[in-house]
Amino acid sequence: MDAKTLGELRASGWDGSRSVKDELRENLMRKLALGETLFPGVVGYEDTVAPQVVNAVLSRHNFILLGLRGQAKTKLIRMLTTLLDERMPYIAGSEIHDHPYQPISKYARSLVAEMGDETPIAWLTAEQRYVEKLATPDVTIADMIGDIDPIKAARAGQNISDELTIHYGLLPRANRGIFAINELPDLAGKIQVGLFNILQEGDVQIKGFPVRMPLDLMMVFTANPEDYTARGKIITPLKDRIGSEIRTHYPLSVERGIAITKQESWTTRGPVVDVEIPAWMRELVETVAFVAREDKRIDKRSGVSQRLPISALENAVSNAERRALAAGEKEAMPRVADLYAALPSITGKLELEYEGELKGGDAVARELIRAAVARVYSRLFDGVNMRDITAHFQNGGTLKLGELASSADVVAALEAVPGLMEKTKHVGLGARESDAARAAAGEFILEGLHSLKRIGRSEELGFQGEEIEEEDEWPPRRGGKKDKRRNFN
């Protein structure tokens, strides 16, 4: 049972001699010795970033994570709370969570002097010991460190220079815990000066009054490397006092990316419609992000967030769900057409270079999807003979697939193409697969042939077995008058 007074805490045998950094270090060492998972839910950093974070904690360093957007920097630093003790005692009523045995605020010192062993004790959970601040240019020294509160002084009848009149900022309130600052370069220089003084000396001045505050903190930061190195907005004394600089990265393989997107995306819908996502579709969505990170028309300094495949998959699933509801079906499986319908979740996450801006976000996103289709199709169907399918279109065959057509109708239309449906076995389908799975796989094959310019696709009839020079507009742009059908010919 948790102690409720200082006397009970002493009687319980609680030591309390560890600093926060020692506490993190010792708990981390215990987890390492037991072989426990250190950062559950952070995928892809097991052999790269995680060991560097471990070394920083073992070294009792304050550290900074440098990485582009969407690289799980914030998620990772929030996981540091798993290395804190489950419960921590402090002097009840203290705004800065004073240590019961070594109080540093005037309020806590006075309370202990007055009440002795009867001083009330409260407890904090690990999550309550984590304080996070997004750095913006308008953040003030009062926000971070504190300010004199004249109203508090007037109500208590105290001199305005009295320490009890201080309104503490975020940093003192994080005492005996973890203080995290996201996007550190956006902090004004004078605020950064206040930070490095806290890091090194423990001294601050509030409105000209010197206050000795030996805070017990682990400080962690995040920043974009472009801001950190090129714009030079982190002042040198602060940079020098940050113990470790750790670089994060995007998934190093499509498989790792798929695992992250599967974990983070909301795709378990229902109960009206049962949604299933084929493996090739997950690979396709992830490949869009990989293709985008390689594309010269997209700003490499900004990066392509891992949120792109997450949002795109969710949107594609929603479009498939919408189609199933319109057709009265109980099962939905996203198709390539659903990924095109997810353009709004893609274009907003691309920062384009000049060439990309000239072409337009929608056009660039469509080309990314088409390139991803070509890459996944080439892997799955390498060496598979598709001549019977291409010959059908070269000889004048056409196929129209409605945007909201039911799975059964799409399968019936696809079966009219010689040899098409038997090729679906190469994506892992058997003879007893559902119509939704067969429709999605059959359409993917046609999209793959189209992406490699082996068959044409347009909104109007008339193309005879040759790829058109300009990419068509499927799905049509908003407000357009084009027929919502895809014609393979």
User: Over the stretch 152-206, which tens digit does the pLDDT of each residue have?
Assistant: 655 666 655 566 667 788 888 999 999 999 989 888 887 887 787 777 665 556 6
CA 223 vs. chain centroid, Å, equals: 14
Supply the pLDDT for residue 396.
Answer: 81
Identify the residue with better confidence: 134 or 142.
Answer: 134
Handedness of CA 257, 259, 260, 266 (dihedral sign): positive
Q: What is the mean pLDDT of residues 291-295?
A: 96
Please give the span between the terminal C-alpha atoms of the chain, in angstroms, as a whole number.
Answer: 76
At residue 86, does pLDDT exceed 90? Answer: yes
Superfamily holding 6-247 = P-loop containing nucleotide triphosphate hydrolases (3.40.50.300)
Per-residue model confidence (pLDDT) at position 238:
85
Identify the pLDDT of residue 461.
43
pLDDT at 394: 87
Per-residue pLDDT, 8: 94
Q: Are 408 and 417 in contact (CB under 8 A)?
A: no
What's the rounded mean pLDDT across residues 415-421? 90
- Residue 464 pLDDT more than 60? no
For residues 129-138, give the mean pLDDT: 90
Instruction: Give residue for tokens 């304080």.
Output: 131
Task: Please report the pLDDT score of residue 225 as a whole number.
Answer: 79
- Residue 103 contacts residue 261 (beta carbons within 8 Å): no
Q: Cβ distance 248 to 45 under 8 Å? A: yes
Residue type, 47: D
Average pLDDT over residues 291-307: 93
Task: Confirm if 361 and 352 have CB atoms less than 8 A apart.
Answer: yes
pLDDT at 475 over 50: no
Q: Do residues 331 and 304 touch, judged by C-beta distance below 8 A?
A: no
Q: What is the pLDDT of residues 311-329, one digit of tens each?
A: 999 999 999 999 999 999 9
- Residue 477: per-residue pLDDT: 47
Q: Which pLDDT score, from 0 to 100, does residue 248 have?
A: 96
For residue 472, which of 284, 340, 280, 293 has the smallest C-alpha distance? 340
Separation between Cα atoms, residue 369 and residue 351, nearest integer Å: 16
Report residue 195 as tokens: 């930070």
List CB contacts of 431: < 8 A, sequence separation 6 or more.
none
Show me where the domains of the chain are located. 6-247, 254-488
Residue 69, pLDDT > 70, answer: yes
What is the pLDDT at residue 206?
Answer: 63
Looking at residue 100, its pLDDT comes to 95
Over residues 332-372, the pLDDT tens digits come to 999 999 999 999 999 999 999 988 899 999 999 999 999 99
The pLDDT assigned to 289 comes to 97
pLDDT at 462: 25
State the Cα–Cα distance between residues 165 and 155, nearest whole angstrom: 10
Residue 239, pLDDT > 90, answer: no
CA separation for the pair 219, 242 (Å, rounded): 9
